[in-house]
Chain A
Amino acid sequence: MRVELLFWAGCPSYGKALRELQQVLRESGHDPRTVIVREITTDDAAASEGFVGSPTIRIDGADVQPLANEPTGLTCRVYRRRDGRISPTPDPEDLREAMLAASSQRPSGGRTRTAARAR
């Protein structure tokens, strides 16, 4: 399973998002060090990556909370927690569901083994 966290440094939520993502990975039996963290630094990069705000988390290429018709750009992303609160980070339950959905589409469960960080 390929787990990516894309962030923009102008939004301070990526550290919390990474911690929560790694916790969910740990709880679901995956190696939390396998998260691929990538910084988006320009509007051009945001456009080419389809980056609609920080943080963006993708599992096997699928956004954990897909947004329709959202413009790309260097901005903070607005999430809504399951209790209705607005938050800069996704609800961990949404991360769990996205992970389960990705795992169920893989014959072997698709556990990854390598840690990576790229900018």
Chain B
Amino acid sequence: MEEKRTAEELLEDLLQGDAGDNALRLLADRIQDDNQLGRRVRDELEFSEMLRQALKSEAVITAESVDALVESASLETNELIDRVCDGKPTAFECDRLAKHLWENPKAIGQLKQRLAADEWTSQAISEARGEAAFVEALETRMWAETRQDSFVDDFAARLDQEIAIQDGDENVVPFPWGATIAKMAAVAAVFAFGAFMLAEQVSQKIGNEPVASLVKASDNVRWKGNLAPDANGGVQSGQYELSSGVIALKFPSGGELTVEGPAAFRVDEDGSAFVYHGVALARANTPDNAINLQARGINVLEQAPLIGIDARSEFSTNAFVLSGDGGICMNDGATCRSLFEFEAVKADYTRDKLVDIPYNPRAFSKTWELLSGVETNLGDVRIELPGTEPTRAPGEGEVRVFVENDSFQPAGGLEVDLLPAGQFAAVGSNSGKAIETKGELRSYLLQVGPSNDKSVEASLTFEHEVVGVIFSSDRLESSDQSVGSSMRDLGGDFSRVRGLDYGSDELLLSDDGRTLNLRLQSGGQQLDQVRVLVAVR
């Protein structure tokens, strides 16, 4: 068929990019016999190339670009390498250098070394390009892509240790009782040290009445220096240095502050707190509960119900809103902004700037565990951070706990499953009952994802009394809206199978109504969810 086509048709196919191997072979044969056709094809191809170049954006020539072209043409290889390493070379300079390098391959190694050294210098000089920033960005990217990939946790746990060690070596905030005086940048040092010394002097004049109570602490809490909570948990005004562990303080206003060591902070008589260094998470369910919270570089002007402060860097402090809305200012009071739920901002106080950063609340994992109102007695349990959405991803035999709604008033008709206290019983069909409480509730969603483990056992003790448990698929579905859950349909037959399995899964609510024991069969593709409602007040 191709043999019957004219030379004109074959040429047209060639110019349109449609010519196959057979057509090209035919055209080549005909060119051999027809010089005029050969010239015609050459002319058309040359013109096509001119068109291609003319249509490329870089082909736009201006007076400036001609000057740059002339200038770059006269530069030696070393000068061109300088231009490229300077950071903003023109396209002409890059292309010119490429030409030099093809002619002089020995210079390629020189350029590579220069570029690599330039990159390392940038990493060493700019905090924004340092290891912590790089890893944080990588984690955020992983978080954004997977939302819950365990890589983040593995990474975080290892990295936190490393950074803490490095901080201990080089970046320690200079406290009078600290063992290490670090080589800090002048601005940060003056700021932090000055603020601290002033606070230290003030604290000496203040009395010894407790201004807050230590309500919770992890097992590994170690205090440093001459001030620590008393045996009854009383916390006097003054500066505290927490070497390790996590603690939770409750203020007379009802506000709570959890701090993870290594950290240094101050509490004052007026119920305010200042975080010099470390990670802290503050909760205020109502504006009346708010703590007057400050940190190095940051003043929390309007406290969101749950706000986190990450003050581990010597140059900046990050603030995260994990729930509700709020507002913060830099310490100068002049630079302020509103912060909404799941937003984060970095206060760069060496430059007086507030910069938006991605919301990645990983730093608050441990402080959040203390504030979540859940205590684990048995089993592999993960308390998920606010903003983490339940997914159907395979689990690792663990119970994931989501705080769905920190505080809400149940609408009428909220129905829960019957679960008599004190009996370890297999889940079965039951008639359910309407919830009786009229106070404020908190809703937790417990989830066990599909995994290879045949059964999962866990025991969770809640800070507040459990007033309702929902484990049947239909009641989970119908209560989503009432509890203000952000639960999405996870696809497939999710809405029918999200509950526990009758006959095989077992639950036990303790006599005091605070501890829930679970024994779930989780093998295969099953997804098990349980909603737990506790009475907050």
A binds B: no
Interface residues of B (CB under 8 A from A): none
